[in-house]
């Protein structure tokens, strides 16, 4: 196979090329919303206007008949105390909860080899933040880097709560004490009025659902701390833009908990590659005693198998110490680090060990 790579700025892509990129991400068995054009384009405009993301595309040949096999959205990173070598790094924003590469089914090794070759020829390293190590493409990347004489240098890691839908229903996986507590809170909420849970996707995940979600996410401590999306004009514009794009491609999903017809909790999610990826959640603090946010997520998980029987995983996009940690029974290993590529990169990363403790202290300060 004649594998061809094309490298260019994000804003240089045509509408047709963006559409092909989106189609690849929707068809890929392992996908990430944060590497999709529906996320990357509004994020580059509203969240990281100073960044200059480039797109690496991998094809199985030349000419109009060539198929798109893989896509990576990357930025050029200078040397620093952690990594004393220039490198290509994943495009990252404050709302990028994982990174990675898109690859057509069966093309993981081809895409990984092409990415490693390109990065090795132009730089000395390849960096990823919040990379899911269980994804098949991550294993392919590690094998490609090893064949190139490189190594993986982890910087940080954690276990992310997920639910793998290959066994029992969610209630059978939760501790009985937690199930009883959630059921009790739901009964108490029903004493206040008519309670309903609804899934909104397709045309139903409309602009009204977006505004309801933004309003609820703006409540309570997030509004007080100024960390909600509505607290920032740019973040709110990004979210509206991102939702419109994912709605058009059929991937946007909201879960809403209603009391007497009014939403008191909302979660935003993106369905791609056999996984429902959580994004944000919000709830009305007036009903905090009933834990509406947790109830909403619990009811969402109960609804998933019936709505999408072939769904493989629900990913919280959170850390284990959040409220999703107790609701989701499985864990996925997430890591941030650098692949050194070749002798020069290996030596530079080895030398950096001496001052890396200082780099950690400076980054915390």
Residue 80 has pLDDT above 90, yes or no: no
Beta-carbon contacts of 240 under 8 Å, excluding residues fewer than 6 positions away, are 207, 210, 214
Render pLDDT for 233-286 as a digit per residue (tens, 0 to 9).
999 999 999 999 999 999 999 999 999 999 999 999 999 989 999 999 999 999
338 phi, psi to nearest 5 deg:
-130, 135
The three-class DSSP label of residue 30 is: coil
| pTM for the predicted model, two decimal places | 0.94
Q: Which two tokens stand for residue 198?
A: 């609804």
4-159+334-364: CATH topology: Aminopeptidase (3.40.630)
Residue 64 is predicted with a pLDDT of 86
For Cα atoms 234, 235, 241, give the angle at the middle one, nearest 5 degrees.
90
Task: Classify residue 175 as exposed, middle or buried by CB count within 10 Å of its CB (0-12, 13-18, 19+).
Answer: exposed
pLDDT, mean of residues 320-343: 91
Q: Is the CATH code 3.30.70.20 the one for domain 167-311? A: no
DSSP 49: T
**Distance from C-alpha of 306 to C-alpha of 333, rounded to nearest angstrom:** 28
Confidence band of 364 (pLDDT split at 50, 70, 90): low
Residue 159 DSSP SS3: strand
- Asked if 4-159+334-364 and 167-311 have one fold, the answer is yes
Spatial separation of the C-alpha atoms in residues 41 and 47, rounded to whole Å? 10
pLDDT digits (tens, 9 = 90+) for 105-140: 999 999 999 999 999 988 779 999 999 998 888 999
Q: Domain residues of the chain, as ranges? A: 4-159+334-364, 167-311
């Amino acid at each position: 196979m004649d594998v061809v790579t094309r490298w260019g700025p994000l804003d240089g892509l045509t509408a047709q090329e963006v559409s092909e990129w989106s189609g690849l991400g929707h068809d890929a068995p392992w996908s990430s919303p944060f590497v999709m054009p529906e996320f990357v384009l509004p994020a580059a405009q509203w969240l990281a206007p100073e960044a200059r993301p480039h797109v690496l595309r991998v094809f199985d040949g030349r000419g109009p008949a060539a198929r798109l096999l893989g896509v990576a959205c990357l930025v050029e990173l200078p040397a620093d105390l952690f990594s004393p070598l220039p490198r290509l790094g994943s495009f990252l924003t404050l709302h990028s909860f994982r990174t990675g590469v898109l690859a057509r089914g069966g093309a993981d090794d081809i895409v990984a080899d092409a990415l490693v070759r390109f990065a090795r020829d132009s730089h000395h390293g390849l960096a990823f933040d919040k990379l899911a190590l269980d994804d098949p493409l991550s294993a392919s990347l590690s094998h490609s880097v090893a064949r190139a004489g490189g190594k993986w240098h982890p910087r940080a890691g954690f276990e992310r709560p997920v639910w793998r839908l290959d066994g029992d229903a969610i209630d059978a996986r939760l501790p009985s004490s937690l199930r009883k507590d959630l059921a009790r809170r739901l009964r108490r909420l029903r004493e206040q009025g008519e309670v309903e849970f609804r899934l909104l996707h397709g045309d139903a995940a409309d602009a009204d659902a977006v505004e309801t979600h933004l309003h609820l996410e703006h409540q309570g401590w997030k509004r007080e701390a100024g960390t909600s999306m509505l607290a920032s004009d740019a973040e709110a514009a990004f979210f509206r833009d991102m939702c419109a794009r994912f709605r058009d491609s059929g991937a946007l999903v909201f879960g809403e908990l209603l009391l007497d017809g009014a939403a008191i909790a909302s979660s935003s999610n993106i369905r791609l590659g056999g996984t429902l990826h959580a994004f944000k959640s919000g709830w009305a603090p007036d009903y905090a005693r009933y834990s509406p946010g947790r109830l909403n997520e619990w009811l969402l998980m109960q609804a998933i198998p019936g709505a999408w029987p072939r769904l493989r995983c629900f990913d919280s996009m959170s850390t284990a110490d959040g409220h999703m940690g107790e609701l989701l029974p499985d864990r996925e290993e997430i890591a941030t680090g650098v692949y050194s590529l070749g002798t020069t990169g290996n030596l530079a990363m080895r030398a950096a060990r001496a001052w890396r403790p200082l780099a950690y202290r400076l980054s915390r300060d």
